[in-house]
Structure formats: structure tokens, C-alpha cells
Structure 1
Amino acid sequence: MMNELQILLNDEQLKKIGEQVAASLDIKEIIELISSGERYMNKKQTCKYLKVSNNTLDSWILCGLPQILINNSVRYDRFAIDRWMNQLEKTS
């Protein structure tokens, strides 16, 4: 026989738990992307990898986010993106 434990949480606590669960699911998707060995990503994958919206990615592209253009097809190198982000961190 198993005993039951009830925990009562207020709305704010439930909201925080929900946010943490959602964040951990996003992290899981990013880890899967990284571990899949996919170095070159399309725009949607890049947004997911960086956890930003399409509009934010467009803005970062204007700021110098590296792209690879092959016959009107754009790809993003995960390693180049990481280097670019690290450079920004060093200059901030």
C-alpha cells in the first residue's frame, strides 16, 4: 500500500514550475540537435538552437551572424555561430 502525499501550491508557484518544465523541454530539443551531429542548420533549426524568434535571428544576421549561402539556400554553421557568440561575449 502506497501513502499519498499532497502538496498545495499557489498560482505563482505553479507558474514557476510550468516555466521550468517548459525550459527543460527546450533544452532537451537543443541537446538532441547538438548530439545528432547536425553541424549545418537551416533557419528554423538555428532559431531553435539559439532559442530566439525568427525576427531576432534576422536582426542578429544584420549584426554579423555568420551564414553560408549555396545556390540561394542558406545554412548556419553551429561552430561558427558559437565562435561569433563567444566573440560578442568577450567584447561586452
Structure 2
Amino acid sequence: MLRRNTPKYKASDLVGKAIIHTWTLENGENKEYEGEIRGFEDGVFKVVYWDDKEKKEGNEFELTEREINIDIQEGNLFIKDTTNLDHCYSTF
């Protein structure tokens, strides 16, 4: 379960949300990737990271709820929908 003080949100509330995720490359350089959370099942998010600016081609990755929350807490993953969900979520 994800929470933001109050109210509480389910992890499934993030499905369909656009994200910006910073990854540290093997050479130590940080690189931002835009993507979208495509699904959530059994504690695992399916995330597509776009290869092109038109957001048509991308690679799908599976990230656990724990991995998502650690990256949110460390400021490496941001939800682009600032009207309801933002980067301030954490697990119980």
C-alpha cells in the first residue's frame, strides 16, 4: 500500500501514470528516462521506458513495489501527474 500522509492510495492507482526515473549508468553517470507505469500485479509494476520522443517505442521492465518506493523516497522517481499523485509516496 502506498501512502502520502493522508489519504492512502493503492499501488494500482499508479497504473497509467507517466514517470521520470533517474538511473545510474555503469559509468556512474545519472540519466533520466521518461516512461509509464503499465500494470501492477502481485507486488510487481510493469514499466515502459520510452526510446523515442513520440513515446511509441519502448522497453518494458518489471520493478517491485519496494524498488519503486525506494526510488521515490530517494528522489530518483517522480510521478508526472501533480494534481493528485506526486513523488511523496512510501509504503507502510
- Interval containing the TM-score (normalised by the shorter chain): under 0.3
Structure with more relative contact order (C-alpha pairs < 8 Å, separation 6 or more): 2
> TM-score, normalised to structure 1's length?
0.23
Tell me which structure has the larger Cα radius of gyration.
Answer: 1
TM-score by length of 2: 0.23
